[in-house]
């Protein structure tokens, strides 16, 4: 007699679930042509981003430093101005300088950018601040939040399926550890280098000096000893990151030349 490993009903449910997911999971491509699995619509992600932004603004005070606020707005305006037309026109880009000593910044789907006052001590000029902002905007352009949210949803479904199939506790634990270690960290290395590449091009296209992105990560690493920058904990900074940036510098410098020829010469002063 054949031993059926899985009850027929569970297998059926499993297949239905998987084919449903296959239909739902639109295979998109990142701006760098990497295939991505994204489950949520752009409208959905915009709503999530806006909700998170409102919540942060309710919980963290905005900076009272009017001069620094104008400076951050100026850099953001130049970065947004350099975006491809579709992303510039169809997104309500907004930036807030938060009154917090954290060395951090973020950009959320829906075009909501946050910078913490502490970052201005490490990103010490307009070019370096633009490097951080353009990197964060790069995550948004490449749909990375959607990808992460989708991975975590798929992971939960994966668990459900494993449980339906009667996987042992050990298997479930292994699955959990494996997903935490490899795939589902805040931003993975692939996403980080994509954001670096997109960010470098974007900052240069806006007329900021791309070389300064390397100085920025050096400053960031130097700060790590005394005051560990949040940005480093979520954005690991191996030396390969700087090597990658250096390798792309000639292309970025060409973008900068073109930007300057168009008259894009930002002059944001703190
Ligand atoms: Zn990043």
What's the 55 CA to ligand 1 centre distance in angstroms?
21
DSSP letters for 20-47: HHHHHSEEEE-TT--EEEE-S-HHHHHH
Give the per-residue pLDDT at 10: 41
Token output for 205: 């296209």
- What is the CB neighbour count within 10 angstroms for residue 25? 15
Strand runs labelled E in the chain: 26-29, 35-38, 94-98, 105-108, 112-116
The SS3 call for residue 49 is helix
**What are 179-198's pLDDT values in tens digits?**
544 434 467 778 888 999 99
**What are 32-82's pLDDT values in tens digits?**
777 887 778 888 889 888 998 999 999 999 999 999 999 999 999 999 999
The SS3 call for residue 98 is strand
Q: Rounded mean pLDDT of the chain?
A: 81
**What are 171-184's pLDDT values in tens digits?**
655 555 445 444 34
What's the 41 CA to ligand 1 centre distance in angstroms?
22
Q: How many Å apart are CA 108 and CA 189, to the nearest integer? A: 19
What's the 16 CA to ligand 1 centre distance in angstroms?
36
Answer whether 131's CB lies under 8 Å from 119's CB: no
Strand partners, 62: 98
Q: Is the dihedral of CA 50, 56, 59, 60 positive or negative?
A: negative
Answer whether 88's CB lies under 8 Å from 117's CB: no
Catalytic residue among 117, 136, 209, 255: 136
Answer whether 173's CB lies under 8 Å from 143's CB: no
* Domain extents in the chain: 42-144+187-261
Q: How confident is the model at residue 242 (pLDDT cuts 50, 70, 90)?
A: confident
What's the 143 CA to ligand 1 centre distance in angstroms?
12
Our CA angle for 75, 77, 78, nearest 5°, is 65
Neighbours of ion ligand 1 (CB under 5 A): 195, 235
pLDDT of residue 4 exceeding 50: no
Is 255 a residue of the active site? no
Give the per-residue pLDDT at 41: 84
Instruction: Calculate the alpha carbon distances from 158 to 23, 27, 94, 167 in Å.
Output: 16, 18, 37, 11
pLDDT of residue 250 exceeding 60: yes
- DSSP secondary-structure letter at 118? G
């Amino acid at each position: 007699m054949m031993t059926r490993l899985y009850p027929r009903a569970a297998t059926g449910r499993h297949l239905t679930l998987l084919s449903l997911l296959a239909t739902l999971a639109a295979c998109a491509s990142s701006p760098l042509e990497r295939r991505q699995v994204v489950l949520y619509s752009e409208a959905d992600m915009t709503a999530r981003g806006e909700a998170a932004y409102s919540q942060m603004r309710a919980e963290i005070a905005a900076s009272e430093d009017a001069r620094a606020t104008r400076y951050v707005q100026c850099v953001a305006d130049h970065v947004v101005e350099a975006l491809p037309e579709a992303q510039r026109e169809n997104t309500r880009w907004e930036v807030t300088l938060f009154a917090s000593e954290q060395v951090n910044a973020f950009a959320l789907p829906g075009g909501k950018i946050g910078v913490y006052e502490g970052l201005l001590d490490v990103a010490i000029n307009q070019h370096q601040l633009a490097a951080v902002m353009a990197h964060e905007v790069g995550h948004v352009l490449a749909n990375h939040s959607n990808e992460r949210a989708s991975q975590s949803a798929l992971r939960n479904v994966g668990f459900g399926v494993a449980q339906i199939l009667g996987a042992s506790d050990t298997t479930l634990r292994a699955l959990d550890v494996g997903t935490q270690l490899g795939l589902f960290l805040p931003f993975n290395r692939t996403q980080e280098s994509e954001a670096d590449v997109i960010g470098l091009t974007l900052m240069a296209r806006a007329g900021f000096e791309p070389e300064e992105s390397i100085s920025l990560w050096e400053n960031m690493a130097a700060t790590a000893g005394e005051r560990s920058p949040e940005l480093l904990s979520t954005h690991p900074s191996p030396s390969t990151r700087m090597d990658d940036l250096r390798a792309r510098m000639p292309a970025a410098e060409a973008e900068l030349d073109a930007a300057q020829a168009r008259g894009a010469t930002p002059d944001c002063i703190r």
